[in-house]
Amino acid sequence: MNSIFVRILVSTALLFVVSSVAFVWTSIYLIRRAPPVNNFMRRVLDAQLEDARAVWEKGGATALRAELGKLNGRFPGQHSLLDGGGNDVLTGEMVDISGVVFGRPPLRFPFFGPPRRGNMAHRSGDGKYVLYALSEDPRFEPPNYAPYYLPILLVFVLGIYLLAYYLGRPLRQLRETVMRFGAGELEARTGSKRSDEFGDVARSFDEMADRMQTLLTAERRLLQDISHELRSPLARLSVAVELARTCADRNGGLDRIKKESQRISTLVGELIEMTRAEGDSAERTIAPVDLRELLKDLLDDLLIEADTKGIRLARNIEGPMVVQGDAELLRRAVENVVRNAIRYSPVNGEVRVRMGRERDRAVIVVRDFGPGVPEEMREAIFRPFFRVEDDRARMSGGVGLGLAIARRAIHLHHGEIVARNAEPGLEVTIGVALRG
């Protein structure tokens, strides 16, 4: 009984049986409470009894036999005239009429078995005579309902089975898929096309499985990338420590240790930012954010960094434009894009930052005039730890997480971020839905 299929099947069948029995016995109870006969039938029985009584009293046994023969012919059965004590006036035999319901035939449970012999009795007004009929006419018996009830019962049971199968099958499929997914088969999906609640649950599971597969795959890839990224600075740090111990130029060794320590610290900081971008949404502070004010403050803060390379930050900011989201994550995303543009811009170059409105979205466009990226790598630059030129990126201080963090932060706000070669340079476009 642990299966919902069996529970539905058995429960519905029991309900049907109990309801059917209750219906039948209610019908019998109401029939028994009904008046034995209507006025017309009472008059017929009175007439039959009075005729038989008159014939008996006037014509004797021979005349009564003839009269009862007529009754037997007209009303199938065997009629007898009894005296007040229940004795047959023709044979003198005692007839037990104690269980006879006067005026109607006996009732039986109307399900199974052939019609049985029934009896009916009607007493005269003065109580001296009783007309007794032993009838085999099925019209005097409740009909046998079995030939009618059984097909209905079979159809009902079939319907219960189909209903239980219809309700139980998607649950079994969902259970099997969950077990496969839990066993490590991350590609397992229900693929349900149903439009009811079972379909909603199955599709919700598929969406959850997609997200978990993405997160698990990203986590594995991230761990591999982290191990790769940490291996080199840790190895150089170990060498620098040995040099500082043995080399005469200890200051150079210490500088090297400091540089590698800063690189590891930067990497850890970027990883913390990425973790926050992928963290629990319940922990984020969601509020209206004015992108114009956010972008102005951000560019003002980056002026010092741009000035060190002689880079001019050209801005064209429309507004105000308010979106719903986490201000810190949005700031971090835009900051990473602008810093990336500054990092790869030539000395004394220019970075253009523009924000405008396109339908129901705020669009921020950041363009540099650097070397751009190969066309086949435009999507790859948003992957963690990806660098177009590994050595050059190391010299510039990047660890390859800035654009990855930016994309994940923007995706958390149901926006999009894309890059294209502007020839010269790279143009990154960020789109976020405006607050309704």
Answer yes or no: do 94 and 196 share one domain. Answer: no
| Domain termination site, one of 278, 308, 330 | 278
CB count within 10 Å of CB 433 equals: 15
> E strands along 222-303, which residues?
287-290
Between 366 and 251, the more confident residue is: 366
**What pLDDT is recorded for position 393?**
44
Answer yes or no: do 346 and 254 share one domain. Answer: no
Answer yes or no: do 389 and 292 share one domain. Answer: yes
**What pLDDT is recorded for position 111?**
43
**What pLDDT is recorded for position 392?**
38
Answer yes or no: do 73 and 117 share one domain. Answer: yes
Answer yes or no: do 307 and 328 share one domain. Answer: yes
User: Is it true that the peptide bond before 320 is cis, omega within 30 degrees of 0?
Assistant: yes
Between 33 and 161, the more confident residue is: 161
Band (391; pLDDT cuts 50, 70, 90): very low
- Is residue 418 in a domain? yes
- Of 57, 58, 54, 35, whose CA–CA distance to 46 is shortest? 54
Question: Do strands 118-123 and 129-135 pair parallel, antiparallel, or not at all (unpaired)?
Answer: antiparallel
Between 317 and 393, the more confident residue is: 317
Answer yes or no: do 127 and 241 share one domain. Answer: no
CATH code for the domain in which residue 261 is found? 1.10.287.130
Answer yes or no: do 350 and 394 share one domain. Answer: yes
- Joined tokens for residue 209: 């499985």
Structurally, the chain folds into a number of domains equal to 3
Say how far apart CA 436 and CA 433 lie, in whole Å: 9
105 backbone dihedrals φ, ψ, rounded to 5°: -75, 160
Answer yes or no: do 206 and 248 share one domain. Answer: yes
CB within 8 A of 231, min separation 6: which ones? none
Q: Residue 426 burial (CB < 10 Å; 0-12/13-18/19+)?
A: buried
**129-135 sheet: strands from edge to edge:** 78-83, 129-135, 118-123
| Domain termination site, one of 110, 144, 178 | 144
CB distance 290 to 328 below 8 Å: no
CB within 8 A of 3, min separation 6: which ones? 168
**What pLDDT is recorded for position 436?**
65
| Domain termination site, one of 109, 144, 179 | 144
- Is residue 182 in a domain? no
**What pLDDT is recorded for position 218?**
67
What is the extent of the structural domain holding 104? 35-144
Q: Which residue has the tokens 């210490």?
A: 254
- Is residue 257 in a domain? yes
- Is residue 351 in a domain? yes
Q: How many CA atoms lie within 13 A of 341 on its CB side?
A: 33
**What pLDDT is recorded for position 16?**
77
pLDDT at 13 exceeding the cut of 50: yes
Answer yes or no: do 370 and 406 share one domain. Answer: yes
CB distance 403 to 381 below 8 Å: yes
Residue type, 175: R
- Of 322, 327, 317, whose CA–CA distance to 352 is shortest? 317
CATH code for the domain in which residue 96 is found? 3.30.450.170
Between helices 250-277 and 402-412, what is the axis angle to 10°? 20
Q: Residue 399 burial (CB < 10 Å; 0-12/13-18/19+)?
A: buried
- Joined tokens for residue 372: 């751009």
Over residues 106-136, the pLDDT tens digits come to 444 444 444 444 567 778 888 889 888 876 5
Q: Please state which of the ranges 181-190, 274-283, 307-316, 372-381 shows the lowest mean pLDDT.
A: 274-283
Answer yes or no: do 136 and 197 share one domain. Answer: no
- Is residue 200 in a domain? yes
CA 373 to chain centre: 45
Residue 227 bridge partners (DSSP): none
- Is residue 337 in a domain? yes
- Is residue 81 in a domain? yes
CB within 8 A of 216, min separation 6: which ones? 186
pLDDT at 58 exceeding the cut of 80: yes
**What pLDDT is recorded for position 366?**
96
CATH code for the domain in which residue 294 is found? 3.30.565.10
Say how far apart CA 200 and CA 74 lie, in whole Å: 70
- Is residue 28 in a domain? no
